[in-house]
Amino acid sequence: MKIGIYGQFYHKNSGIYIQQLLETLDKNGVEVVIEKNFLELINLHDEIDKTYSHFSTFEELDTSYDLFFSIGGDGTILKTITYVRDLGIPIAGINTGRLGFLATIQKEEIKDTIALILDKKFYISSRSLVTVETLPATEEFGVLNFAMNEIAVSRRNTTSMITVHTTLNNEFLTSYWADGLIVSTPTGSTGYSLSCGGPVMMPDAESMVLTPIAPHNLNVRPLVIPDNQEIKLQVSGREDTYLISLDSRIHTLPNEATVVIKKAPFKINMVVLQDESFLKTLRKKMLWGEDKRN
């Protein structure tokens, strides 16, 4: 078995859990390849007896990997997908961060959890993504023109609202007068969109949701649409440019640029333990039903 490992930060008190992970994988004869910068962080804080191979870019990965461990929080998983992309390698998130809605494996349970994963006692939750391009075409996003949570446009360098003219499959929907607009996947429905009043969607829902950010049009509401719709956004405002974010990656676009958003041609495979589920995560992470009257 061949496993890749990625992490962004070396969290305080997480060293012992990283050691447990590496030792468990080593005892089971697993070939481990660690992202170069994260490997340097590990070596900086801990003495590792074994020398590990490393990777730095997507081009150094291939379909020979059986699994990919993401060590951190949900933001680390969103960064991990920029390495995995369309290779279909299942991603298992080990939570050393805070909420851990995507990174559901708790660091305190690494030994038992890794044993279950190596015994293939898990299932795959395939997550849809969205892609973005601009008209006229630019090289602004490069190959990283996709997002697993959401794509959002928002105002830049101003306290004034922007107007987001929106069409679905070339039919005019409305003009949002707001701080911005979020186009969320089902996975992202529990993130930025939710904090702006959007609905929670099941991960396998074949939908997207348009959620305005602090709209001044008081009668607009989040809108759930089929994920086969092509969304076009044209922004106008007092500034000549606006911001567009793809998960945590932020770019600046001129007002003349029309944004085209649609479902990506590939999915990300997330590892889910057999005794876990999206509904269980909702209850545990969002405290659904945590009312003493129940």
d(CA 30, CA 110): 15
Asked if residue 222 has a cis previous peptide bond (ω within 30° of 0), the answer is no
Query: Is the Cβ–Cβ distance between 140 and 181 less than 8 Å?
Result: no
Q: From the annotation, which residues make up the binding site for NAD(+)?
A: 74-75, 79, 149-150, 179, 190-195, 214
Helix (H, G, I), strand (E, B) or coil at 261: strand
Q: From the annotation, which residues make up the binding site?
A: 74-75, 79, 149-150, 179, 190-195, 214
Helical ranges in 46-90 per DSSP H: 74-84
Identify whether 86 is a catalytic site residue: no
Tell me the CA end-to-end span of the chain in Å, nearest whole number.
46
**Backbone region of residue 164 per phi and psi (left: phi > 0; alpha: psi in -120 to 50; beta: other values):** beta
d(CA 75, CA 84): 15
Q: Residue with structure tokens 């990997």?
A: 65
Helix (H, G, I), strand (E, B) or coil at 91: strand
Q: How many CA atoms lie within 13 A of 110 on its CB side?
A: 21
Kindly write down the DSSP assignment for every residue of 175-233, as one continuous string.
Answer: EEEESEEEEE-TGGGGTHHHHTTPPP--TT-SEEEEEEES-S-TT---EEEETT--EEE
Catalytic residue from among 74, 112, 119, 291: 74
d(CA 66, CA 29): 13
d(CA 225, CA 99): 28
- Catalytic sites, residue numbers: 74
